Chain A
Amino acid sequence: MAVSALTKRSRDFQQLTPAWNVLFNLFAGIFAFLCVFPFLFVAVISFTDEKSLARNGYRLIPEQWSFDAYRYIFKAGDQLLRSYGVTILITVIGTAIGVVSIALFAYAISRKSFKYRNFFAFFAFFTMLFNGGLVPTYIVVTQLLGMKDTLWALILPLAVNAFYIMIMRTFFSTMVPDAIIESGKIDGAGEFGIFFKLVLPLSLPGLATISLFSVLGYWNDWFNALLYIDDPNLVPLQSMLMRIENSMQFILQNAQNASISTGLLQSMPQDTSRMAMVVLATLPIIFAYPFFQRYFVQGLTIGAVKE
């Protein structure tokens, strides 16, 4: 009886007053709407008839609807599916490798007992600022590691990232109380045991965050494929999209060139198709999003009080 009274009262106390709640909802809601709006536009345009788009410009309710853009893309058929497959594969493998390496490194440099923590923190940080540029990296990947035209060239260059390490280290040092680690030691657990059994479960929001960032990093990457992949069977989705996007811009900018203006402009993909490609590239990830989101939006705020 006493417990439930406390729970009830504390929940009221925990929550915002209705007026503030409405205000917060409005604030977040309006901002979210402004973010969704252009995306809605993208979707609508992708279903617009090309001719009516050229006539009227962007319209929320087009004069004439059409599936032509999707028909154009699906003409590529197996290429599209294959690209989806490549993207999903590199995203899953890459995120797994990356998150494990990042979490281990970040945990080590978050521990005060680690003598070289500052050296390694600096070691990682330094790479955020200085890099040798495109050509040396290209040589390491293609000539030294021999990964040209392999999926590894899409996976490894993005696996680790000092920025994520710094975020993760902060999560470890603020969220994991020293007492827990000490208690683990008293129980006779090794460093790895402590890390996997005690520390990781406590850092789920942080892990979810860097996993999400990592997933997005892989999902949106197109540049590595541009550099390292010649085999059309290994081209990921965004790379396919950006390739078309870049080429469209290039051809338009060179429309004065007689050979291009007479030969290429007609076979070029249309405005609606690129919007359709944005839709096709984004939808799957939006569906996967809630999986990560539950770790950092829902939280345990309400339940925790009851215990």
Chain B
Amino acid sequence: MNTTKKRWLPLLAAIMLVSLVLSACGSKESGSGAEGTAEKPVELIWYTIGTPQKDVNAVMEEVSKYTAEKIGVTVKMTMVDWGDYAQKLQVATASGEPIDMMFTSSWAFDYVQNARKGAFMEIDELLPKYGQGIVDALDPAFLEGSKVDGHNYGIPANKELPAQEVWRFNKQLLDKYKLGTEGIYSLDSLEPLLKTIKENEPDVYPLAVDKNQAPYVPYDYVIEKLPMAVSLKDSGLKVVNVLETPEMKAALNTMHKYYKAGYIPTEAASLDSLTDVQATGKWFMDRATSQPFADNLWSASYGYPVVSTPASEALIYNWSVMGSMQAISANSKYPEKAMEFLNLLNTDPVLRNMVDSGIEGTHYEMVGDNVMKNLDNSKNYDMPTFSLGNLFITHLNETDPADKWEGFKTFNDAGVEAPLLGFNFDTSKVTTEIAAVQNVKEEFWAALMTGTVDPEEYLTRANDKFKAAGLDKIIEEAQRQIDEWKASK
């Protein structure tokens, strides 16, 4: 054993060395100069999220003809399905895969996290130079809110800017019991309605809650769903443990009361989703994040009328600003061209609609000035519109209200900036604590937030464990960074 060991150790070391050298060779390629004209366009590789569509290549061929002429680029788009996107792009960026542009957001392939790791190119200079159209089109809050350590790394899609929580109601049941939604706003105000439903409809979930939900409290979270937050009313920006705030305590008590009264599904804390009751209509109300005209979309997708009423103000959070972005890869060979393309995508209706709806006459046809109708072939090119850039220049569908985008603009203008808009926590000094705190959070969060357990008992337990895991240290670090950020503003 001993003698063999001596013999193979150097071999192993040699192999590792070779591997390092070899992996270095693979990545060195030189960029070139006189390309990027209509005659000699450059190819941009674009990764974006969504179920891969059959006709992507066909559409991108058309897109490329158009963009080659306009800005001297062609486009190769690769779609990666929803559930795989984050993982695939994580590996691809970490290993320096050649990519020019990619989708990123607060909820898939995390924008802030990957910007810090160096996956994206900083665009502070490229943006005004090649992307002025984007700057003009976007509400300034978009670019302000998506800054990471003071720099921009991605281009937010022009869409709904603030996030507004609403109570959604199954209108059939509202009508059946002649219930009104006036005066409904706080969690406590729901009680009479829930009671009526519980008494009369034993098969219906009065308040449909699953494990992903938490009661709304007027706080801005430092990291979403970790319990550090700043009160919306506190201009001093003091970071607190949200579980120790009076608002959260009151909300959890109410949730627990509702749970005990049977308003909330017994197994809310382990339910991934409630799509089955949404399909059958066996729910009365729930809470959701809204956007203009959402009621129409919900009603259409469930097949019965859904109405909603506000449950919070419309606030502009970091995560709502980063709901959908396109970033340029740090290793892009043609960052200027990529920026030009993104600029065109966000300002040119022809390109934007081609990318979104496909080829006119094949996938859709125009039935009005700005109104289109999907043709049968659109099933081969069905793209998630919100993920691909400026919404406000896309065609309307026949079912859309004519003033759809005006509605969005009004909604955006009315949005109020959340206190931490533009601040993104740098976790690198507290990664160990975050890992521990995250585990504590997962252990207690769903049970507490759905009202399944008694907050009197479990809040103390959770807070003790959070402290032991180092929550205070994270809060301290966050406070330090926030103070610095505030001073620099």
A253 at the interface (CB under 8 A from B): yes
B338, CB-defined interface residue at 8 Å: no
Task: Considering the complex, give the chain B residue whose CB is closest to the CB of A249.
Answer: B83
Q: Which residues of B contact A139 (CB under 8 A)?
A: 23, 26, 95-96
Asked if residues B297 and A262 are in contact (CB atoms below 8 Å), the reply is: yes
CA distance A248 to B54 in the complex (A): 19
Once A143-B26, A249-B83 are accepted as A-B contacts, the answer to whether A135 and B95 lie under 8 Å apart by CB is yes
Count of A-B contacts judged by CB separation below 8 Å? 129
Residues of A within 8 A of B92 (CB): 138
A172 CA to B69 CA in the complex, in Å? 67
CA A225 to CA B4, docked complex, whole Å:
38
Q: A139-B26, A144-B26, A265-B301 are in contact. Are A253 and B212 (CB under 8 A)?
A: yes
**Cβ of A123 and Cβ of B8 under 8 Å apart?**
yes
Query: B78 an interface residue at 8 Å Cβ cutoff?
Result: yes
B52 within 8 A of A: yes
Q: In the bound complex, do residue A252 and residue B273 qualify as a contact, i.e. CB atoms below 8 Å apart?
A: yes
A261 within 8 A of B: yes
Partner of A259, one of B80, B94, B95, B324: B324
B301–A262 touching, CB < 8 Å: yes
Q: Which residue of the partner chain A has the closest CB to B52?
A: A232
B137 beta carbon closer than 8 Å to chain A: no
Q: Does B110 contact A (CB under 8 A)?
A: no
Which of B1, B83, B213, B384 is A250 in contact with, Cβ under 8 Å?
B83
Convert B284-324 into 0s and 1s, putting 1 for each residue whose CB lies closer than 8 angstroms to a CB of A.
Answer: 00001111001001101100000000000000000000011
Q: Does A142 contact B (CB under 8 A)?
A: yes
- Interface check A282, CB cutoff 8 A: no
The answer to whether A256 and B288 touch (CB under 8 A), given A135-B94, A262-B297, A263-B384, is yes
Known: A140-B23, A252-B275. 17 other contacts (CB 8 A): A51-B280, A54-B276, A118-B1, A118-B4, A119-B8, A139-B95, A143-B26, A227-B88, A232-B54, A249-B272, A256-B289, A258-B289, A258-B323, A259-B159, A261-B298, A262-B298, A264-B384
Chain A interface (Cβ < 8 Å from any Cβ of B): 50-51, 53-55, 79, 118-119, 122-123, 134-136, 138-140, 142-144, 226-227, 230, 232, 243-259, 261-267, 271
23 contacts between A and B (CB under 8 A): A51-B279, A54-B275, A136-B95, A138-B95, A139-B26, A139-B96, A143-B96, A226-B84, A226-B88, A230-B80, A232-B54, A245-B83, A247-B51, A251-B82, A252-B272, A253-B212, A256-B289, A258-B288, A262-B294, A262-B297, A262-B301, A263-B384, A263-B386
